[in-house]
Structures are given as structure tokens and as C-alpha cells.
């Protein structure tokens, strides 16, 4: 099983070390594609592992600067100790964000399962008041996301809009894909009109084409937003968009935790596995 997953992972995971991620980003940049690097890890329950994650991110930010590659970083608060306490996660995130600001880089908060949604947004908003080099992911699958996006727009925060990769109960999330897509489209248009440098993070070509049409119709320039996609997914589409003058950013995960990461995603939603297999030949 590990051997089979390793075969798949080589396309979607940069490797186990920072240098692997930097090498992947350098190749992406050569094709006109930006990046955001994520050190894989989540649900940390002890302080030493959370502190280790902080050190890794500080090293990553330094390596990005030293290599001269064009990449931001993305992180999960549960990797920094959110399961221990909100205070620990916020303190650890601030250390990373502050170093990013010193280096002229930015940090995006990934959104995790719904049990962390409120805590992630609260911590983000508190830090964003002091550090403008921050952004946050919002999932269109959740009912609450419309009000969250409105609040973030009002606070001048940059949003990465995603559909959501977690299996959520129907009392808090849209159970049908068409409703998730419809909500994504509505939130996407609000962000294009009123948001600050929003990231439209989807591989759905219908939604991408609608974003392009809507932006042109409303005179939203290509410089005011970007498309984001996962490493190894829709590679030809990423290249076409970049060649057409759109900002395209690939999400580049790395780290020794790649196997547990992939297994968790497959357990959470079988659609995640089908999605990966479907895109193998692009």
C-alpha cells in the first residue's frame, strides 16, 4: 500500500525535505507559476512537536529568501498546537508571520475541519490586525462561509476561496456538490468585486471560466486576483492560464508526514482519491 501511494505522491507531494519543495518551486517559477509551500502536519498534541513545526517554517522562509524563488507559505494551526490551546497556536503562528514580514513574505492560514473553523478565523483576525502579510482559506461547502467572507472583506483580509476537502455533517455544510459549487460562485464574485487580492482556488474549469468572464465584465484586472491549484493537478490548465497573463499559484506540500496526510484525506472523502486518479494523465 505504501509503495502504491508513494507512486501517486511523487506527483502531488514535493518530497520530504525543504530542499525538495524549493526545487519544485524553482521549476514552477520557470514556467511562470507562483507557489505557496506547506509543511505537512496537523493535529499536533504536544508542545515539542508544535515548536519543531515553528522551527521548520522559519527555516523554510529563510530558504525561500536564499533561493530567490517566488513562493509564500501556508500553514495549519493544528500543526502549531491548536489542539493544545488557542494561545499556543496563536503565539507560534505570530513567530512565523513576523519572520515572514521581515523577509517580505506572506503567510496563509489553511482551513481545516469544521471543529477548527471558528478558532482559526478568530486567531487569524487577531493577528491580521497587526500583520498585513496574512491571508486565510474559506470553504464554500460550509453554510457559515457567506458571513465569514463578508466579515473578512470588511476587515481588508485576503481570502483563498476553496470548496473544502473535509467530510462535514449536513447540519453545517451543503450535502450536494451543486450547492457547494453555487455557493463558491457567489462568494467568488463577491471577492472579485470587493475582496483584497482574492485567490480563486479551484480546478473546476467552469468556475475558472466564469471567474474570467465576470472579471472582464466588471473591469477587474488580472493583477487584482489569482488562481490557485494543487501541485500536479490540471498542469496544462495552470500553464495556459499563466501564459494568458493570469497569476497562477501552485500549492506545494512537503514533509515526512506525507503518508499519514494522504491516508487521512482518503479516509475523509473517497472523492479525494477519485480526484487524484482522474488527474493522473494531465
Catalytic residue of the set 99, 160, 247, 249: 160
Q: Is 234 helix (H, G, I), strand (E, B) or coil?
A: coil
Integer Cα distance of 124 and 210 in angstroms: 29
Distance of CA 163 to the CA centre of its chain: 11
CB 76 within 8 A of CB 110: yes
Name, in order, each residue with C-beta under 8 angstroms of 97's C-beta and a sequence gap of 6 or more: 107, 127, 131, 133, 134
Residue 172 backbone dihedrals phi, psi, to 5 degrees: -125, -10
Q: Residue 137 — φ and ψ, nearest 5°?
A: -90, 140
Q: Name the phi and psi angles at 232, rounded to 5.
A: 85, -5
What would the grid cell of residue 166 be?
Answer: 473535509
Q: Out of 18, 38, 99, 110, which one is annotated catalytic?
A: 110
Cell of 148: 465569514
Asked if 145 and 139 touch (Cβ cutoff 8 Å), the reply is yes
Residue 110 catalytic?
yes
Q: Give burial (CB, 10 Å; 0-12/13-18/19+) of 191.
A: buried
- What is the C-alpha to C-alpha distance for residues 196 and 135, in angstroms, rounded to an integer? 10
Query: Which residues have a Cβ under 8 Å from the Cβ of 204 and sit 6 or more positions away?
Result: 163, 181, 184
Give the chain's radius of gyration (CA, Å): 18
- Give the pairing of strands 158-162 and 107-109: unpaired
Active-site amino acid positions: 110, 160
Amino acid at each position: 500500500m505504501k509503495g502504491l501511494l508513494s507512486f501517486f505522491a511523487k506527483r502531488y507531494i514535493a518530497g520530504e525535505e525543504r530542499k525538495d519543495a524549493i526545487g519544485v518551486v524553482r521549476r514552477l517559477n520557470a514556467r511562470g507559476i507562483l507557489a505557496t509551500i506547506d509543511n505537512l502536519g496537523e493535529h499536533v498534541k504536544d508542545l515539542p512537536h508544535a515548536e519543531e513545526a515553528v522551527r521548520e517554517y522559519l527555516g523554510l522562509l529563510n530558504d525561500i529568501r536564499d533561493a530567490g524563488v517566488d513562493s509564500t507559505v501556508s500553514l495549519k494551526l493544528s500543526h502549531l498546537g491548536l489542539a493544545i490551546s488557542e494561545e499556543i497556536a496563536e503565539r507560534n503562528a505570530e513567530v512565523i508571520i513576523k519572520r515572514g514580514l521581515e523577509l517580505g513574505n506572506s503567510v496563509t492560514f489553511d482551513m481545516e475541519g469544521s471543529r477548527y473553523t471558528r478558532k482559526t478565523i478568530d486567531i487569524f483576525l487577531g493577528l491580521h490586525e497587526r500583520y498585513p502579510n496574512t491571508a486565510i482559506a474559506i470553504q464554500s461547502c460550509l453554510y457559515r462561509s457567506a458571513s465569514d467572507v463578508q466579515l473578512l472583506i470588511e476587515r481588508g483580509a485576503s481570502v483563498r476561496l476553496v470548496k473544502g476537502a473535509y467530510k462535514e455533517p449536513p447540519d453545517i455544510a451543503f450535502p450536494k456538490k451543486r450547492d457547494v459549487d453555487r455557493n463558491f460562485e457567489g462568494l467568488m464574485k463577491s471577492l472579485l468585486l470587493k475582496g483584497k487580492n482574492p485567490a480563486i482556488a479551484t480546478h473546476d474549469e467552469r468556475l475558472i471560466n466564469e471567474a474570467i468572464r465576470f472579471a472582464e465584465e466588471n473591469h477587474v484586472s488580472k493583477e487584482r486576483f489569482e488562481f490557485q491549484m494543487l501541485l500536479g493537478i490540471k498542469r496544462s490548465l495552470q500553464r495556459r492560464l499563466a501564459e494568458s497573463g493570469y497569476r497562477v499559484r501552485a500549492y506545494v506540500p512537503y514533509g515526512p508526514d506525507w503518508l499519514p496526510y494522504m491516508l487521512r484525506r482518503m479516509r475523509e472523502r473517497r472523492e479525494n482519491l477519485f480526484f487524484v486518479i482522474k488527474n493522473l494523465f494531465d
